[in-house]
């Protein structure tokens, strides 16, 4: 099983659009959306069957038994996350701020604080044309990295015999991205020709390089700023990173997405370019 | 007044909106909370830079005192500790610095040291004080940096604009916690709507007053606008899809400082937001 991961650093550069195109072109039997904070891939993938849904439990959360609590405030003094609030002598846990470390539970002299399992999101699994694993983190939850690992685990269990796995990643360089990089065979970085895009691309490349994974770069909407697109190419050449193609800005792509289609479903310049990028990426991954 | 600019999806124009609003306000502070991928400083090019390291506390055991009882290892909910070959090992990246290991060590063998996870850079760009949180590459969580940024921001009595990270997870939550008003930036795609829904839910959980800026509006149908209309959400502004604006922004230029047309657009937006925010505060009391 080979894992192709699509990342970008910056958000909105076109990861999901490209992932959708790749899945279609590869007739992929296994794919996942690891952007658990803002999953979108399911919006352009057609699924006949309903998803199998499983609750995802993140860290446990502290709860104070107000009947028992004698307001000694020891828990509050020892909580480093400012997760315990006091109002009118009543103590209460702010479950958004609570990281589930268990210090309050352990310091409470009368056992009025305890930890309780908490649902932090939902895992979804679609099984029809292929196996599609995705998830959605609950509002304001932490531990997105752990949920990403669960998405990948679910995919592995259900599609153990697939040769190719296509994974849509999340923006940024932090925990969900690092969790998605674990075990990937190749990373395709979708870059965008803007000053912000270049800065973010450099940071995601530096992050991916720590994992010693093969990296390919494609430039999306390259014609919106050709000068900066050239800068990206120059940077990649200097660093010995492969450019797997350039995709033009194309309003037809936006229309396709709004109809719930992938860009290779329609005849348009962005779709043709994405097809090209796909074959070059596969070649690079298998080289 | 503290205004948080957010969007579930990345790349919708959070930085465009927050940078230009801060630049058009008379005397303001721009705070970049997108610590994984901070970009605001690329636009402002702030001068007189000051850098401050952000550190977290990391446990370390005194081998002389540690008896290998594993109380700390068993306590740690994050699996950040292991006792291997007569030595306590700390997995830096997963440690949440809760202090439990230190608190419960029967031998008092654990102390804490500081570990750098990023920095806060501040400087001046004309009328704007520019503060950026920057997480070191390879780090897992930037939450402590955001917390520090927000702590510092509480001392500000000027208009503060918070450029938030994408998504609706813990990082975003931290950023909007003490905002007076939230601006949700959405783009006209089904992706945009789906992610707008998520931040919409988030601002409602936190009972924050908010409005939406529709960015990159094309002539065609706008699912994000439809969503706002259906849910009776205030539309603060519609920014058209505009090549000139796009090019300026991609080159790191601040539109309101370059062109009167955009100055007017963002001044209007600022006025609307101020009015909305004041209205909200008034109705609270």
Asked if B12 and A12 come within 8 Å (Cβ–Cβ), the reply is yes
B188 part of contact set with chain A, CB < 8 Å = yes
Among A43, A139, A142, whose Cβ lies nearest the Cβ of B205? A139
Residues B79 and B205 in one domain: no
Query: What ipTM was predicted for this assembly?
Result: 0.92
What SS3 state is found at A185? coil
Distance from CA of B257 to the nearest CA of A (A): 17
Residues A80 and A190 in one domain: no
pLDDT tens readout for residues A246-285: 999 999 999 999 999 999 999 999 999 999 999 999 999 9
- Cβ atoms of A201 and A231 closer than 8 Å: no
Q: Is residue A127 part of a domain?
A: no
Residues A262 and A229 in one domain: yes
Average pLDDT over residues B259-276: 95
Residues B148 and B28 in one domain: yes
Residues A39 and A61 in one domain: no
Q: Is residue A131 part of a domain?
A: no
Residues of A with CB below 8 A from B194's CB? 38, 40, 43
Q: Please calculate the CA angle B179-B182-B184 and round it to the nearest 5 degrees.
A: 150
Tokens found for residue B67: 């008896």
The domain total for chain A is: 2
pLDDT tens readout for residues A132-160: 999 999 887 877 899 999 999 999 999 98
Among A40, A192, A224, whose Cβ lies nearest the Cβ of B191? A40
B27 part of contact set with chain A, CB < 8 Å = no
Residues B136 and B191 in one domain: yes
Among B37, B96, B205, whose Cβ lies nearest the Cβ of A203? B37
Cα distances from A241 to residues A192, A213, A234, in angstroms, run 16, 11, 10
Q: Which pLDDT score is estimated for B282? A: 61
Asked if A101 and B15 come within 8 Å (Cβ–Cβ), the reply is no
Whole-number CA gyration radius for chain B: 22
Is pLDDT at B285 greater than 50 in this prediction?
A: no
- Cβ atoms of A34 and A52 closer than 8 Å: no
Tokens found for residue B178: 């003490």
pLDDT tens readout for residues B208-237: 999 999 999 988 889 999 999 999 999 999
Q: Please calculate the CA angle B147-B122-B141 and round it to the nearest 5 degrees.
A: 35
Alpha carbons A67 and A89: distance in angstroms, whole number: 13
Run of H or E residues at A177: helix A175-181
B36 part of contact set with chain A, CB < 8 Å = yes
- Which positions ≥6 away from B183 have C-beta within 8 Å? B3, B4, B5, B6, B17, B18, B210, B211, B212, B213, B236, B273
Alpha carbons B3 and B271: distance in angstroms, whole number: 13
**Residue numbers of B between 158 and 187 with CB closer than 8 Å to A:** 165-173, 187
Is pLDDT at B190 greater than 50 in this prediction?
A: yes
What SS3 state is found at A47? coil
The domain total for chain B is: 2
Q: Is residue B138 part of a domain?
A: yes
Alpha carbons B160 and B180: distance in angstroms, whole number: 10
Residues A81 and A203 in one domain: no
What SS3 state is found at A120? strand
For B92, the domain range is 62-107
Conformational region of residue A71, where left means phi above 0, alpha means psi within -120 to 50, and beta covers everything else: left
Best B7, B8, B11 residue to mutate vs chain A (most A CBs within 10 Å): B11
For A245, the domain range is 1-45+140-284
Is pLDDT at A287 greater than 80 in this prediction?
A: yes
pLDDT tens readout for residues A61-114: 999 999 999 999 999 999 999 999 999 889 999 998 999 999 999 999 999 999
Alpha carbons B90 and B219: distance in angstroms, whole number: 56
What SS3 state is found at B60? strand
Q: Which pLDDT score is estimated for B279? A: 79
Residues B247 and B149 in one domain: yes
């Amino acid at each position: 099983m080979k894992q192709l991961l699509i990342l970008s650093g910056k958000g909105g550069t076109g990861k999901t659009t490209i992932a959708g195109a790749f899945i279609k072109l590869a007739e992929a039997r296994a794919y996942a959306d690891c952007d658990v904070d803002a999953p979108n891939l399911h919006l352009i993938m057609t699924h006949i069957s309903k998803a199998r849904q499983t609750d995802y439990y993140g860290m446990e959360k502290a709860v104070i038994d107000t009947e028992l609590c004698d307001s000694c405030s020891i828990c509050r003094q020892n909580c480093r996350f400012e997760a315990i609030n006091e109002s009118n002598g009543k103590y209460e846990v702010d479950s958004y701020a609570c990281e589930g470390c268990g210090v309050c539970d352990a310091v409470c002299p009368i056992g009025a604080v305890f930890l309780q399992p908490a649902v932090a999101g939902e895992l979804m699994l679609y099984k029809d044309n292929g196996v599609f694993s995705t998830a959605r983190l609950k509002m304001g939850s932490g531990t997105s990295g752990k949920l990403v690992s669960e998405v990948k685990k679910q995919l592995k269990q259900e599609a153990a015999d697939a040769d190719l796995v296509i994974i849509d990643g999340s923006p940024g360089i932090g925990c969900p991205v690092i969790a998605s990089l674990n075990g990937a065979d190749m990373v395709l970085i979708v870059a965008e020709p803007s000053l912000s895009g270049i800065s973010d691309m450099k940071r995601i490349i530096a992050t991916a390089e720590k994992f010693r994974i093969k990296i390919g770069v494609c430039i999306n909407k390259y014609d919106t700023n050709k000068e900066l697109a050239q800068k990206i190419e120059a940077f990649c050449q200097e660093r010995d990173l492969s450019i797997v193609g350039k995709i033009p800005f194309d309003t037809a792509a936006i229309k396709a997405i709004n109809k719930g289609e992938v860009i290779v479903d329609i005849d348009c310049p962005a779709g043709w370019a994405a097809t090209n990028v796909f074959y070059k990426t596969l070649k690079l991954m298998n080289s | 007044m503290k205004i948080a600019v957010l969007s579930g999806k990345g790349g919708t124009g959070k930085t465009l909106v927050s940078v230009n609003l801060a630049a058009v306000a008379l005397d303001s502070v721009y705070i970049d909370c997108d610590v994984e991928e901070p970009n605001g400083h690329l636009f402002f090019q702030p001068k007189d830079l000051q850098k401050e390291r952000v550190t977290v506390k990391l446990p370390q055991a005194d081998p002389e005192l540690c008896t290998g009882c594993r109380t700390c290892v068993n306590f740690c909910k994050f699996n950040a500790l292991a006792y291997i070959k007569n030595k306590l090992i700390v997995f830096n990246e997963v440690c949440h610095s809760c202090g439990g290991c230190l608190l419960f060590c029967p031998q008092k063998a654990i102390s804490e040291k500081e570990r750098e996870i990023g920095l806060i850079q501040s400087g001046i760009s004309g009328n704007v004080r520019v503060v950026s949180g920057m997480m070191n590459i390879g780090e897992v969580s930037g939450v402590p940096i955001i917390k520090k940024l927000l702590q510092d921001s509480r001392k500000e009595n000027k208009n503060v604009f918070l450029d938030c990270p994408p998504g609706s997870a813990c990082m975003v939550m931290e950023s909007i916690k003490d905002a007076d008003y939230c601006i949700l930036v959405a783009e006209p795609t089904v992706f945009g709507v789906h992610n707008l829904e998520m931040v919409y839910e988030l601002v409602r959980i936190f009972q924050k007053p908010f409005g939406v800026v529709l960015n990159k509006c094309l002539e065609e149908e706008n699912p994000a606008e439809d969503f706002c209309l259906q849910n009776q959400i205030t539309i603060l502004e519609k920014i058209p899809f505009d090549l000139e604006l796009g090019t300026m922004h991609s080159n790191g230029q601040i539109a309101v400082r370059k062109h009167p047309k955009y100055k007017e657009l963002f001044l209007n937006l600022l006025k609307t937001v101020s009015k909305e925010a004041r209205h909200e505060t008034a109705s609270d009391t």
